[in-house]
Chain A
Amino acid sequence: MENPTAAKVHAPPGGFLRRYVFSTDHKVIGIQYYLLALFSVFLGMTLSALMRYHLVYPGEKQHLFQLLWPNGAPDGIMTPELYLSLMTMHGTIMVFFVLTTAPQSGFGNYFLPLQIGAPDMAFPVLNMLSFWTTLLSFLVLCSAFFADGGAPLGGWTAYPPLSATGAIAGPGMGTGMDLWIISIALFCVASLMGAINFLTTVLEMRAKGMSLMRMPLTCWGWFVTAVISLFAFAVLLTAGILLLLDRLGGTSFFLPAGLVISDRVLDHSGGSPLLWQHLFWFFGHPEVYIAILPGMGLVSTVLSVFSRKPVFGYKAMAYAMVAIGLLGFLVWGHHMFISGMSPYSAIAFSVLTLAIGVPSAIKTFNWLGTIWGGQLRLTTAMLFALGFVSVFVSGGLTGLFLGQPALDLYFHDTYFVVGHFHMIMGVASIFGIFAATFYWFPKVTGRMMSEPLGKIHFYCTFLGAYAIFIPMHFAGIAGNPRRYADFTQFDFLKDLASVHKFITHAALFTAVIQLLFLWNLFWSWRRGAKARENPWNATTLEWALPSPPPAHNFGINPPLVKRGPYDYSLPQGGKDFLMQHEGEEE
């Protein structure tokens, strides 16, 4: 057996396939993950744009719909089933292949070994397998679009009983749903492989002097996320297997007796749909932190770099991430307040949910403490980091409403929830991804992204995101249910038509603006201004390497780390920072 670890320094592999496709180099794998997430985010965004268009123009025939989905829009008008299938695929693609993939697997793979002074991830072959399994999972998911009946309708949560009964539950609930479950099971396996690699790399591959408390907060984010993934994805894998067996094996894990669907009595008995909800949300809530914790780490770093100040309360920031990770496993019941659970259980879940506000507040105040009195440099990366803090607070505060059972009874399944989770999980994480892209682009490519284009992109996206998701909260307060394909049929929703029209226009505007980012990314990759080795005057180890970094990272002489990661504002004048491997031992 070849030794699985990467402690021996590797030379760049020869040949295109070994170097760029089936590569075991963590940097290439990180880029592969990033590109997969980039494709996924544009696919997911396109689906949401089509849904938003249909919501405000439900009766208008669109040749495009008919062309794309001859069965789902036979006369050019989207059927409710097609709407639900787009919603399902939008949610699944965004949650798994964007928010889970880019911050952790993309940036984490590329920068974790560089930031801790390691030659590669601990298990390079496992790392490659993890990416290819993720890609396979994505292809299996997308194949559901072309399956008989189309993509599934069950939402990204795939609640039984309808997700467990087969094609009888609607178009897309046959083969499409099977493919969805297989895709998610594959994703679980890939994520577990990745989590093992990240965890081992952090614990065993750090350079000399790089104690845990000298790691950049980005590494803490990836580390805690890996631990969460290890616990959460294993549970989702079990749940997925049981769900698939209910569909294909005739079992009754989640299907109760006497179930009547489409006028047919099903012969399952004794199962519990709530069992799925428990298993799913035991994964599902930590998944929120899987999406956002890497962003928290990155934002801490970026705020410090562009304020020219150390992170305020480094240890508190690290411990807060650990606390968020732990508490995240104790609150899954707040997604099930209306399931008929005991009020005592609901109170317990509510108190624990509100308790997450404590470490979250620590982080927020420490971010503010970091920039307070700093010499702010409003680069695009910094703007997105500040935007992250803004939407994290906005999205987090609405979580306090949903975390209380009495209020959640009203808000559940309304647009209030849609607005909330898009802000806290979607926009915040995406802002983290944008900040990371602008911050690390010079390191990956050796070139700078265009700052003017980046700033236009930021301001439009920031305003667009608020214009889309804040009105959704008001629609939810007015009682607007989510998952409806057409609001025009309900008198009590007619007054909200103009709100939805505004949201749709804002969504289309924001979607188009993302093309500016795409242009900036690829144009700068080829034509951007040449970057200095350390263009931001940052302190962490990746900036000690040439840009782009060589295949062997630090070679046979890994750096000796002498200090923490945020030594800015030094009193001796001249250079206002010291890199982690510079100066005297601290």
Chain B
Amino acid sequence: MNLAMAGSQRRASFTGLYAFLVSVTMFFAAFTSAMVVRRGASDDWKGVPAPSLLWVNTGVLAVSSVLAEKARRVLRAGDRRRHFNLWWTGATLLGAMFVAGQIMVWRYLHRHGVYLNTTPGSAFFFVGTIAHAVHLGGGWLAMLYLNIRAFRLELGPGRRTAIDVATIYWHFLGILWLYLLWLFRFWGN
């Protein structure tokens, strides 16, 4: 494969990613506008009792993002594969921890009698957090796949592009989570 082709593939991967991020943004923009309209449409709005675990999860996702970025930079700086594997594995594990933490939040709410259809606020909370988790699950599977490839010493130039793409997506999901947290915890309450 010549350099021009590799460059073209890399650019296409990034453009495809940014287009995907636009569609995810529109999905959550529509979700937000529905929430704003629904809250204003009636006087039955009630927020969700957010457990402190949400803050822990937020921290976990933030650290995961930092580790992914660290791994990406290490790889770019040179062939320091052992360090890359360390940071990337850490990011992947923390990603799994975030999802596990979110499941614990949902179970906590269930134990306290808060279900999808309990209040309008709870409906939006469950839909928003589950939709975020589904998007995150996709990104996490990609990270896991790259992790396995990295351990097998199979990180060619194409997969390094994939690492860049996965990392940017991971950061995006982190920012999206901060936005959702603000939406539910502050505006929604």
Binding site for B on A (CB under 8 A): 1, 3-5, 7-8, 122-123, 192, 195-197, 199-200, 203-205, 230-231, 233-235, 237-239, 241-242, 245, 249-253, 256-257, 269-272, 275, 278-279, 282
Contacts and interface: CB of A to CB of B under 8 A. Distances in A.
A166 B131 CA distance: 24
A239 B30 contact: yes
B26 A242 contact: no
Q: Which 4 A-B pairs have the closest CB atoms?
A: A270-B42, A250-B117, A234-B26, A238-B30
Contact of B38 (A200, A271, A282): A271
B34 A279 contact: yes
B71 to A, nearest CB: 16
A54 to B, nearest CB: 37
A386 to B, nearest CB: 35
Contacts of B9: 3, 5, 7
A253 B45 CA distance: 12
Q: Which of A200, A203, A205, A245 has the most CB of B within 10 A?
A: A200
A195 B23 contact: yes
A272 B34 CA distance: 10
A290 to B, nearest CB: 14
A245 B12 contact: no
Main secondary structure of the interface of B (DSSP, over half): helix
Nearest to B15: A200
Given A204-B11, A231-B22, A249-B116, 13 more contacts: A1-B149, A122-B12, A122-B15, A122-B16, A234-B24, A245-B123, A249-B117, A252-B117, A257-B42, A257-B44, A270-B43, A270-B45, A275-B37
Contact of A242 (B127, B161, B162): B127
B23 A196 contact: yes
A415 to B, nearest CB: 32
A231 B19 contact: no
A269 B34 contact: no
A249 to B, nearest CB: 5
Contact of A205 (B12, B27, B31): B12
Given A1-B145, A238-B34, A270 B5 contact: no
Give the residue among A199, A238, A239, A279 with the most B Cβ atoms within 10 A: A238
A256 to B, nearest CB: 8
B159 interface: yes
Contact of A272 (B13, B37, B158): B37
B116 A237 contact: no
A487 B146 CA distance: 64
Interface in B84-117: 116-117
B116 A275 contact: no
A5 B19 contact: no
B77 interface: no
A272 B27 contact: no
